[in-house]
Amino acid sequence: MSNDADVSAYNYQKFIGDDDFSVFRSVLHGGDQAPDGTVIVAATGESRELSSFWRGRDLILEFGSLT
Amino acid sequence: MFLYTREAHPGEHFPAHTSIEQKVQHARQFIDRYGIQRPVLVDDLTGTLHRKYGMLPNMTYIMSAAGRILFRSDWTDPPTIEAAVEYIQSARARRRSGLRLKPFFAEFVGYRWTDDPAFQAGLHVAGPQAVSDFAEAMERWSTGVPLKGGITIEE
């Protein structure tokens, strides 16, 4: 379960620009199994497993936010 | 598809998320404002999936139907993704034609176009704080605290 400190640390209130791009190169690689987890479909509010979107077909997944 | 993460540049109009309801609401406003056609999915409030995939603000992954990572990039650049999709399709076509193809690991350096006016317009949508925080960060990057892990290629 998450606590308030986890939530506020992840959801920073001020952009600093200290993302570490080198971390990206150490977490996953081509050929690896993609991590699964629960997501909410924005349009409907339903909960789904991410894997349900790639099962049976390729998936292009972009990460981002409105800002 | 699109996976909605934390706000990269929080501002007065789109502040940092404090509840999952707010995060879903921002995702819906994102769909409406930009006319997003792809399904938009929302990660949980602590960014569980975002962390597992590298926690950068605008990554793209391509997964096979079995959930294997075929492509990953630390920024999103449409022509680069198109090239990757074409590559995957052509490899499959060659396989269908009877060639025996064996998977291998490869890396390459991408080149992305940064549309600065569009980016600045996006910061204004987020609010004045997003604009000034980014200006501060640019100042820091240019005065000795460069972006960590960026790639520089001498041409």
Tokens representing A6 are 């986890």
Sign of the C-alpha dihedral, residues B101, B104, B109, B110?
A: positive
Report pLDDT digits (tens) over A19-43.
889 999 999 999 999 999 999 999 9
CB B149 to CB A20 under 8 A? yes
**Alpha carbon distance B11, A9 (integer Å):** 16
CA B94 to chain A, closest CA, distance in angstroms equals 18
In angstroms, the CA B15 to CA B135 distance is: 18
Looking at the predicted structure, is the pLDDT value of residue A1 above 70?
no
A28: Cβ–Cβ under 8 A, 6 or more apart, which residues? A34, A35, B52, B53, B54, B69, B72
CB B14 within 8 Å of CB B133:
no
**Chain segment B69-127, per-residue pLDDT in tens:** 999 999 999 999 999 999 999 999 999 999 999 999 999 999 999 889 999 999 999 99
Instruction: Name residues 6-65 of chain A within 8 A of B (Cβ).
Output: 6-8, 10-25, 27-43, 45, 48, 50-51, 53-65
**Residue B107, CB half-sphere, CA atoms under 13 Å: how many?**
6
Interface test with B, best of A38, A49, A65 (most B CBs within 10 A): A65
pLDDT at B145: 79
β-bridge mates for residue B148, sequence order: A20
B26: which 2 tokens? Answer: 């921002």
